[in-house]
Amino acid sequence: MRIIEEVHMMLGIEDPYIIAAYVLSITFALISLAYGLLKWNQEVEEDG
């Protein structure tokens, strides 16, 4: 919880749920970016 308190002091955000929303948004954006980069040139298998 110490990290949340430091972020609160640095950014001036009082609600920890807002901090959690920002952290989760950035985390999922980075995961999506990594997934996209890994799958970029792979061929798609089509059932036909």
Q: Six-digit token pair at 4?
A: 């949340």
In a domain, 15, yes or no: yes
pLDDT value of residue 1: 63
Number of domains in the chain: 1
pLDDT value of residue 29: 97
In a domain, 43, yes or no: no
In a domain, 46, yes or no: no
In a domain, 12, yes or no: yes
User: For the residues of 1-48, what is the DSSP string, one character each?
Assistant: -HHHHHHHHHH----HHHHHHHHHHHHHHHHHHHHHHHHTTPPPP---
Task: Give the domain extent around 20.
Answer: 2-37
Indicate the average pLDDT of the chain: 83
Where residue 44 falls among pLDDT bands split at 50, 70, 90?
confident
